[in-house]
Structure 1
Amino acid sequence: MKFVLMNLATAKEAWADEVTELYKKKISFFVPFEVQSLKAKKSARDDADYKRNEESELLLKNLSKDDFVVLFDERGSSFDSLQFAKKVEGILGSSKKRAVFVIGGAFGVNEEVRKRADLKVSFSPMVMNHLMAQAVGLEQIYRAFTIIKKIPYHNI
């Protein structure tokens, strides 16, 4: 199974690139892994519904029916790291070809993407920008693997 973190690229920051590269290497030790940054067309910030729908359509076009989709969304379910590791372990045991962890754009995702998600995970009820969400998501995916493989990293 391959793991993919899919996001909508907008801003770039050196610290985020560094974190992404570090965790790509760490996670790739356990499974084939990549970060897929999609580029939506530029549109005005004041048309949130249009932008949300356009970006959601782009996400859906890049998902296949054989994907297990995890949506990182503030309205998802909250898990501690041990519970999240159990979810990841379940995903690994599924018959899916890819596990795709999705981070929406600045205005989130539409209902169609929410329905497509097999699991919706909230890091916090607070909203965070996609770079922070990506850093948290990458670290938690890595942490999940260390818990599953019983590698000393997570302090219980």
Structure 2
Amino acid sequence: MKITVVAVGKLKEKFWVAACDEYLKRLRPYAKVAVTEIPDVDPARAGGVEAAREREGAGILAAVPECAHVILMAIEGKQRSSVDFSRHLDDLALRGASELAFVIGGSDGVSDAVRARADETFSFGPITLPHNLARVVLLEQLYRAFKISRGEPYHK
């Protein structure tokens, strides 16, 4: 399986980079996973929040592989346990989705065009996570899902 994580914003702190790198390394035996960072746009310089979302959205859409099944990370998305998330990824693969793209939008959300491109939305729950932490949690949950799917120890 090929997975692209498209995330608005650059990880600046070394501990976020180290955490993401660790999970990307752990994921290598299971899937080809790449992270594409989209520059965040300052609403004050873009002409407002909506204009900033549109510019970020254009970058997101350009980074999403054309044939990918797109999962937008959104607080209002469907919540799944780790086991259910693993089963869902297995189900997508069985239905022929060999390429997935997870989208983590900017601090002001995503454009309507990005929402329209998403095949589904997924949520870690009703809490608000900083975008850097959401990226780490997503990578960890992907790793956990592959371990669960293969019956390997880790998920307890």
Query: Map of 1:127-142 to 2, 5 A cutoff?
Result: 127-142=128-143
Alignment match, 1:104: 105
Alignment match, 1:146: 147
TM-score (norm 1): 0.90
Query: Map of 1:1-156 to 2, 5 A cutoff?
Result: 1-44=1-44, 47-155=48-156
Quickly say closer, same or farther: Cα 1:83–1:27, change in 2 above 3 A.
same
CA distance in 1, matches of 2:97, 2:82: 23
Q: Deviations along 1:41-83, whole A, 9 cap, x unmatched?
A: 5542782111111111211122233111111111111111111
Question: Secondary structure in 1 aligned to 2:101?
Answer: strand
Name the amino acid aligned to 2:35: V
Query: Over aligned residues, Cα RMSD in angstroms?
Result: 1.8
CA distance in 1, matches of 2:11, 2:155: 31
Q: Is the 8 A contact 1:40 1:58 kept in 2?
A: no
Q: For structure 2, which runs of at least 5 residues remain unmatched after alignment?
A: none
Name the amino acid aligned to 1:116: R
Of 60-69 and 42-51, more deviation after overlay is shown by 42-51
Quickly say closer, same or farther: Cα 1:88–1:114, change in 2 above 3 A.
same
Quickly say closer, same or farther: Cα 1:28–1:11, change in 2 above 3 A.
closer
Aligned residues: 155
Q: For structure 1, which runs of at least 5 residues remain unmatched after alignment?
A: none
Q: Percent identity?
A: 30
Question: Secondary structure in 1 aligned to 2:44?
Answer: coil
Quickly say closer, same or farther: Cα 1:11–1:30, change in 2 above 3 A.
closer
Q: Is the 8 A contact 1:23 1:139 kept in 2?
A: yes
TM-score (norm 2): 0.90
Segments ≥4 residues shifted beyond 6 Å: none
Aligned-residue offset at 1:115:
2.1
Q: Is the 8 A contact 1:66 1:97 kept in 2?
A: no
